[in-house]
Amino acid sequence: MTTKALWIFILNLMLFDILSAQEKDPFKSDTLLINGTKLFVKTVGEGEPLLFIHGGPGLSHDYFLPHVLPLSDKFKLIFYDQRATGRSDIKVDSSHMSIDYFVDDIESLRKHYHINKINLIGHSWGGFLAALYAIKYPKTTKSLVFWDSSPLSSHLRNVMIENQKSKVTKEDVANNLKIMRSEEFKRGDPAEIARLYKAIFKPSVFIQKLVYKLNFYFNQNYNQTQYLLGFMYHSMVKYDYYPKLKKVKAPALIFFGNYDPMPIESSEELHNRLTNSELIILKDCGHFPFLEKPQEVFPKMRDFYQKNSSKKTK
């Protein structure tokens, strides 16, 4: 090898190392055995832990990203896929598909990461689970952030369903049916399933084109996931958890987008029942505050955590 060729080889190696360093995945991913099933988890950042609880049921953590990454400069962000969803194991005993197991998974994750008292961020259905966790484990709940939380009563859930129906146009229905009748969707193509979910959520977003920035992840087990989730729905015919919030003393920050078909009464009831809470109504915002109004949401969250940082977590 000539001297010139050697230098070219060395320079190429240096360039490869630089590019590899730039492309290095900042996330740490793992699969944990939690309450009899394997849950996919991912973390990024350093500092006080924040556990994100995604919506659904049946979605995964992916749609939070990259939108919430600005918080990773000061906090350790913990994401996970709920049982039988996303990249978590589909092999779950049907008797373990209950609200109690979903809530206890959060508690087991807290213990795994050796967190004394945990900060929870729940979006939509994830807000429902965050509230139920705080009810069951008030002493290990440090703080709660709700992003357009699902109602904690079956009455307001039914109001939500009617509100959602009122926002759907004939064109929306025709487009959704077109997707569902496609051969790709019938084969369970994850890309087509994600396309349907974006179409379903589109009427719930104030600036509708923003829905295409949501990264919905599905795998080939979608139908099995929906089958398993059916066992959980059986226990959710009639319920009202609002009165039980009286035992929750942790500070709470409640965001609600005024364009969301989620009934505002749900967030108002959360605020009224949680004695140490603040309700923030976001104008011209739909169901995804972290996507639609990050310039308002994240500074408010930073102030909230700074205010409540006197009690340190492990």
Pair of tokens at residue 43: 């973390």
Give counts: helices (H), strands (E), the chain.
11, 8
Give the residue extent of every domain in the chain. 26-165+221-307
Write out pLDDT tens, residues 169-218: 999 999 999 999 999 999 999 999 999 999 999 999 999 999 999 999 99
Write out pLDDT tens, residues 241-288: 999 999 999 999 999 999 999 999 999 999 999 999 999 999 999 999
Residue 289 has pLDDT above 80, yes or no: yes
pTM: 0.90
Partners of 141 in the β-ladder: 118
Cβ contacts of residue 126 below 8 Å, gap of 6+?
52, 53, 54, 55, 56, 147, 149
**CA dihedral over 13, 14, 16, 21, signed as positive or negative:** positive
pLDDT at position 1 is 55
Class of domain 26-165+221-307: alpha beta
pLDDT at position 25 is 75
* Rounded-to-integer distance, Cα 81 and Cα 42, Å: 9
pLDDT classification of 309: cutoffs 50, 70, 90: confident
Torsion (CA) 109, 115, 118, 122 in degrees, nearest 10: -30
pLDDT at position 227 is 94
pLDDT at position 6 is 47
Residue 301 has pLDDT above 80, yes or no: yes
